[in-house]
Amino acid sequence: MGRVIIGSRDSKLAVRQSEMVIEFLRGAHPGLEVELATFKTTGDKILDRRLDQIGGKGLFVKELDAALRAGECDYTVHSCKDLPMEIPADLPLVCFSAREDPRDVLVFPKGAGEPDWSKPVGTSSRRREIQLRALFPEATFESVRGNLQTRLRKLDEGGYGALVLAAAGLKRMGLADRIGRYLEPDEVIPSAAQGVLAVQGRTDADSSLFDGFADSEVAVAVSAERAFVTRLDGGCSSPIAAHARLLEGGNRIELLGLYYDEEGQKAYRSHIEGAAVDAVELAYKLADDLRAGNGDLVE
């Protein structure tokens, strides 16, 4: 059947996520030879600044895009939340996976049953910080970078009173037992497409390889979430959040959204519901409403 090379960032979590795709391909296509190729991205190398200070999360894909174009791999696997909103025309997204738990979570120091508020909460995300300040007025925040294992080590060594992480990454790495408290989307709206894997390829990509892996309902939800962020001119490191839920067997959609007005230094959140076929238009309307200040003030 031939050979396929899957490209991935070289972090343990990224490799694990790519292995999930590889395991599917090997199971679905027994005659197909599937290999993994890893690449270190700019975003993995610069660890002393927040992502929004060094150009956003597009820094996690530049080297993978180059590898695709050069034929060093046939497909790349991404955490969809890390993808920039503008996708190159020559490197389309082939499919989206089923969604792992989309929630953010608090992780406590090993052995602790609650955060230590005398120390900062570790997060490099302004989206998370803005929403958590409203939930936990006593909290202070400090940037933390590095891969998942590095962040957990810094927490357990006493550098932070808690971490805010994505449930999906912890669960995929077998670390669900580290989760101290789940943050429901009604409390902290996740990053657009959080918990979803995206497979990217060239224009000649064979999407049928991923039949059975691709999730059509997730694709609708992700289209709404990414449309919301795009409408607000936000990259995936902007303090903008979106989370869609399909209702009534996939016929209707509810979208939660958060917008931060940089000029007024205020955050607004709201939701919208309608027919799933109108997902993108609903996302645009919610974005326009929040930009106009029509929503609940987060404070």
Please list the active-site residues.
82
Strands 75-79 and 121-122: unpaired
Tokens of 170: 């912890």
Q: At what angle do helices 216-231 and 279-291 cross, to 10 degrees?
A: 30
Q: Of 18, 12, 39, 24, whose CA–CA distance to 174 is shortest?
A: 12
Tokens of 279: 């997902």
Residue 223 phi/psi, 5° resolution? -60, -40
Contacts of 242 (CB under 8 A, 6+ apart): 189, 191, 192, 224, 225, 226, 228, 229, 255, 256, 257, 258, 283
DSSP 193: T
- Cα–Cα distance between 122 and 124 in angstroms, integer? 7
DSSP letter for each residue of 77-136: EEEGGGS-SSPPTTS-EEEEPPP----EEEEPPTT-SS--TTSPEE---HHHHHHHHHH-
- Cα–Cα distance between 7 and 9 in angstroms, integer? 7
Helix (H) or strand (E) holding 250: none
- Cα–Cα distance between 70 and 78 in angstroms, integer? 18
